[in-house]
């Protein structure tokens, strides 16, 4: 019995007639491997921007319902064109919108979560030997309202379909060849990983690796869907994302993530009370302001300072919100330091290896790089450094943790 | 209690951001008249062509199912943008795709007929005071397949909705100000009609007047929906299309239609048998070749000639089909005469006025125009003439039947 494979192609991969024809080739070779194939596609490269431009010209604050109505046409165009591209090459293909594919979501516009997938129709098409092409990023509510899944929506569609159909794997085709130990645009020694664990990928994704949306990774983790990130243009093995990368367990650090445009904000002279921390961050969360690393330092028994890092783009609004609530929060002043960057090492091997954070600090100290903030989790250590030292920090850590040495991964696997 | 009005805007009327904003104004003024308004829109001017170009680049013979999937995105874009345009001006508007609006069709792609409309949702939105915007040209089958209604589909959607909702009227906004006695681009004296009967409109539409699709007129006639054809750009009364234009019954001729690019084909030496006529035209119909005026002339008791007019663009294929079946049809030769045109007078008053055809021939004869073929129905007389004499024939008939004299219509009404 043939197995089911889900393939997902993003906006760049389907950005032109030629690209769509290339995607058709990719789909066909999976079919010729004897698999039943479900293809999930995004809107063609520029389509979404063009639709947004139209909407903006008409209404600067369009309703989310109508934005969903508008934007979902993008994937509907792609599914029909890909079906045509497969048909002209003699393959039977059926295009399905999100609602036709039975993708049910909660009743939220712009950022709905998938509640379930009715797979009967999908299965009957697959059993009939047809290639099924599903519009990513979209679903339908119980009241037949068209919804979208928000950022990373097509990835989520693909993973959810793979889970619902018990697919053997879910291949995410993208414009990179896989997941790297760190960003190869900055670090020459950066190396593509053969495999990575869900949690590691989550930490890397959240830290700006940008290959795959965290939501899709989490979904895959929860349902045990094996993901492969690979290039839509180049014939190369990608990176497998799965639960246990046991053969590499001893590779303590799997990758290094980094991002610039970080600012540290310090709220000074807060009352040293039980609810101070929760009050301040609840207030920020209510304004959809995300903070990252948080450090509390008590000045004396009555007052405390709280520092946290935010994206520089959010600094202005963050300070405005804090000042609006100064009376209630009771702080005496706000300080900020911009021009910072975050550098993080990620690896599930850290759990059983308590010296990793210390080794990281040692490497940075040897390089003369001053660490301004630290945050640790079971599989990640993040540091905030001056942006001028970001790349140097990454390079030093990449060498120190032997990430550039392919032999390490090979030997361990 | 407020009444329901259906407004339909075609592709040119919604062809740009500015046009969509203008359409919003039109909708709002109908709302401010105290009516419940349902708006049906087509795809924006160039959208369909752009989508067709994409499809053609991928597959010169795309499946009709996927063409429906592709093209229906066009109206979906328009409904969302129009909703946004109404919302920004403070009006509550709900956009609905064909399937959301409950427009059920037969299971045919590319040219489906509407089977019924489930109006519960539409009515509940209207009762809640919302403007309802429906994507024209599209529907859904019992198996949740997306279908399109073929040429004139948006007109048909509008009329069907007006019928299902028992709307007071259905305004078809277009790029002309109404229905004219003849084509004003050719004949200076052409005059806009205040009213015209369904059947007259049908004859005019079929003859190339092009304002409104015959299918929509037929639908309106069958369900007694009052149509108004009017300009989306100019504030002018349009032309009412209804069952009985009794006040004008005595206006014998309502309009003059004409088209060029007509060729007469004569099939010579056919066996003079009972089934000759049906065999020849069944054969052509099986190849989707439409013939118009048909004339049979018996040469002697054994053989007969059959002449018919076709659009010049269809001549080559028509002759090929005939020659393929020469053995079975048993004719001896085919003759053709191109460079012809058809000129027709239309008016429901003809039924009770037997001299109209004679008067037409008299006018043409006086002008020295030779009539090559004739066809008559209860409300139409068509003649085929040399294309060089087409406009002169129309002008002479327009004067002879006093179509340019506004007073005629006024006096009679």
Burial of A334 (0-12, 13-18, 19+ CB in 10 A): middle
Q: What is the pTM of this model?
A: 0.81
Per CB-CB distance under 8 Å, the chain B contacts of A81 are 54-55, 58, 66, 70
Number of domains in chain B: 2
- Same structural domain for residues A167 and A42? yes
Q: What is the CATH number of the domain that holds B372?
A: 3.30.2130.10
- Same structural domain for residues A11 and A139? yes
- Same structural domain for residues A165 and A28? yes
- Same structural domain for residues B59 and B156? yes
B169-174 vs B227-231, strand pairing mode: parallel
- Same structural domain for residues B132 and B264? no
Judged by CB atoms closer than 8 Å, whether chains meet at A70 and B62 is answered as no
- Same structural domain for residues B167 and B260? no
State ipTM: 0.79
- Same structural domain for residues B288 and B159? no
Domain boundary among A175, A207, A231: A175
Judged by CB atoms closer than 8 Å, whether chains meet at B84 and A51 is answered as no
pLDDT at A406: 64
- Same structural domain for residues A274 and A399? yes
Among A55, A60, A81, the residue with its CB nearest the CB of B81 is A55
Residue A23 has pLDDT above 90, yes or no: yes
- Confidence class for position A317, pLDDT limits 50, 70, 90: very high
Q: Which helix (H) or strand (E) is B407 found in, with range?
A: helix B406-412
Q: Which helix (H) or strand (E) is A339 found in, with range?
A: strand A333-346
Per CB-CB distance under 8 Å, the chain A contacts of B80 are 55, 62, 66-67, 69-70
Residue A16 has pLDDT above 50, yes or no: yes
Task: Output the 3-class SS for A155-209.
Answer: HHHHHHHHHHCCCCEEEEEECCCCCECCCCCCCCCCCECCEEEHHHHHHHHHHHH
Residue B91 belongs to what domain range?
Answer: 4-175
Q: What is the CATH number of the domain that holds A134?
A: 3.40.1160.10
In a domain, B379, yes or no: yes
How far is Cα B102 from Cα B270, in angstroms, rounded to an integer? 52
B169-174 vs B4-9, strand pairing mode: parallel
- Same structural domain for residues A405 and A270? yes
Q: Note whether B385 and B370 are within 8 A (CB).
A: yes
**Chain A residues within 8 angstroms (CB to CB) of chain B:** 17, 20-21, 51, 54-55, 57-63, 65-67, 69-70, 72-73, 76-77, 79-81, 83-85, 87-88, 95, 97, 100, 144, 146
Residue A165 to chain B, least CA–CA distance (Å): 21
Backbone CA torsion sign across A223, A101, B164, B34:
positive
- What pLDDT tens digit does each residue of chain B (413 aa) get? 579 999 999 999 999 999 999 999 999 999 999 999 999 999 999 999 999 999 999 999 999 999 999 999 999 999 999 999 999 999 999 999 999 999 999 999 999 999 999 999 999 999 999 999 999 999 999 999 999 998 889 999 999 999 999 999 999 998 888 888 888 888 888 888 898 989 888 888 655 556 788 889 989 999 999 999 999 888 889 999 988 765 544 568 889 999 899 999 999 999 888 788 888 888 888 888 888 888 887 777 888 888 999 999 999 999 999 999 999 999 999 999 999 999 999 987 777 676 888 889 889 999 999 988 888 887 888 999 999 999 999 999 999 998 887 644 433 33
Judged by CB atoms closer than 8 Å, whether chains meet at A77 and B51 is answered as yes
CB atoms within 10 A of CB A313: 9
In a domain, A20, yes or no: yes
Nearest residue of B to residue A15, measured between CA atoms:
B54
- Same structural domain for residues A159 and A266? no
Residues 6+ apart with CB under 8 A from B112: B105, B106, B139, B141, B147, B148, B149, B150
In a domain, A208, yes or no: no
- Average pLDDT for residues A151-179, to the nearest whole number? 93
Q: Note whether B217 and B205 are within 8 A (CB).
A: yes
In a domain, A326, yes or no: yes
Domain boundary among A175, A205, A224: A175
In a domain, A230, yes or no: no
Among A69, A52, A74, which residue's Cα sits nearest to residue A140? A69
Q: Which helix (H) or strand (E) is B69 found in, with range?
A: helix B64-87
pLDDT at B367: 93
Chain A interface disruption, residue of B46, B73, B121, most A CBs within 10 A: B73
- Same structural domain for residues A156 and A290? no
pLDDT at B369: 92
Average pLDDT over all residues of chain A: 89
In a domain, B268, yes or no: yes
Domain boundary among B175, B209, B228: B175
| Secondary structure percentages of chain A, helix, strand, coil, to 5 | 40, 25, 35
Q: What is the DSSP letter of A44?
A: -
- Same structural domain for residues A162 and A266? no
Chain B interface disruption, residue of A73, A92, A124, most B CBs within 10 A: A73
In a domain, B222, yes or no: no
Q: How far is CA B195 from CA B410, B412, B413, in A?
A: 11, 12, 10
Q: Note whether B220 and B198 are within 8 A (CB).
A: yes
Judged by CB atoms closer than 8 Å, whether chains meet at A61 and B88 is answered as yes
How far is Cα B108 from Cα B138, in angstroms, rounded to an integer? 12
Among A6, A37, A22, which residue's Cα sits nearest to residue A172? A6
Among A20, A59, A69, the residue with its CB nearest the CB of B95 is A69
How far is Cα B291 from Cα A83, in angstroms, rounded to an integer? 36
Paired strand residues for B134: B40, B96
- DSSP letters for B219-281: HHHHHTPPEEEEESSS----EEEES--GGGTT----EEEEEEEEEEEEEEEEE--TTHHHHHH
- DSSP letters for A211-245: SS-HHHHHHHHHHTPPEEEEESSS----EEEES--
In a domain, A79, yes or no: yes
| Secondary structure percentages of chain B, helix, strand, coil, to 5 | 40, 25, 35
């Amino acid at each position: 019995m043939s197995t089911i494979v889900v393939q997902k192609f993003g906006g760049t991969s389907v950005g032109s007639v030629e690209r769509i024809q290339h995607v058709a080739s990719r789909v066909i070779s999976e079919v010729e491997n004897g698999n039943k194939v479900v293809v999930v596609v995004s809107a063609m490269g520029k389509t979404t921007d063009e639709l947004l431009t139209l909407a903006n010209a008409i209404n600067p604050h369009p309703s989310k319902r109508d934005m969903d109505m508008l934007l979902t046409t993008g994937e509907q165009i792609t599914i029909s064109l890909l079906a045509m591209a497969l048909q002209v090459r003699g393959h039977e293909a059926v295009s399905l919108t999100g609602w036709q594919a039975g993708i049910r979501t909660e009743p939220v516009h712009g950022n709905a979560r998938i509640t379930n997938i009715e797979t009967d129709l999908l299965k009957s098409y697959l059993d009939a030997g047809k290639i099924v092409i599903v519009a990513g990023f979209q679903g339908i509510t119980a009241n037949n309202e068209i919804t979208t899944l928000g950022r990373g929506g097509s990835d989520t569609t693909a993973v959810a379909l793979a889970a619902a159909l018990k697919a053997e794997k879910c291949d995410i085709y993208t414009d990179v060849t896989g997941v790297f130990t760190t960003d190869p645009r900055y670090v020459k020694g950066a190396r593509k990983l053969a495999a990575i664990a869900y949690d590691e990928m989550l930490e890397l994704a959240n830290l700006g690796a940008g290959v795959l949306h965290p939501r899709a990774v989490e979904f895959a983790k929860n349902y045990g869907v094996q993901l492969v990130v690979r290039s839509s243009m180049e014939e190369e093995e990608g990176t497998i994302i799965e639960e246990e990368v046991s053969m590499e367990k001893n590779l303590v650090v799997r990758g290094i993530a980094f991002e610039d445009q970080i600012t540290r904000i310090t709220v000074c002279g807060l009352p040293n009370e039980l609810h101070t921390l929760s009050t301040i961050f609840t207030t920020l969360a209510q304004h959809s302001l995300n903070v990252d690393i948080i450090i509390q330092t008590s000045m004396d028994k009555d007052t405390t300072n709280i520092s946290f890092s935010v994206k520089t783009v959010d600094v202005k609004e963050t300070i405005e919100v804090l000042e609006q609530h100064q009376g209630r929060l009771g702080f005496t002043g706000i300080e900020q330091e911009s021009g910072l960057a975050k550098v993080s090492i990620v690896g599930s091997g850290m759990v059983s290896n308590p010296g990793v954070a210390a080794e990281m600090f040692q490497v940075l100290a040897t390089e003369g790089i001053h660490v301004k903030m630290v945050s640790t989790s079971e599989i990640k250590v993040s540091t905030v450094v001056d942006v001028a030292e970001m790349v140097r920090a990454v390079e030093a850590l990449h060498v120190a943790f032997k990430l550039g040495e392919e032999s390490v991964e090979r030997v361990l696997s």
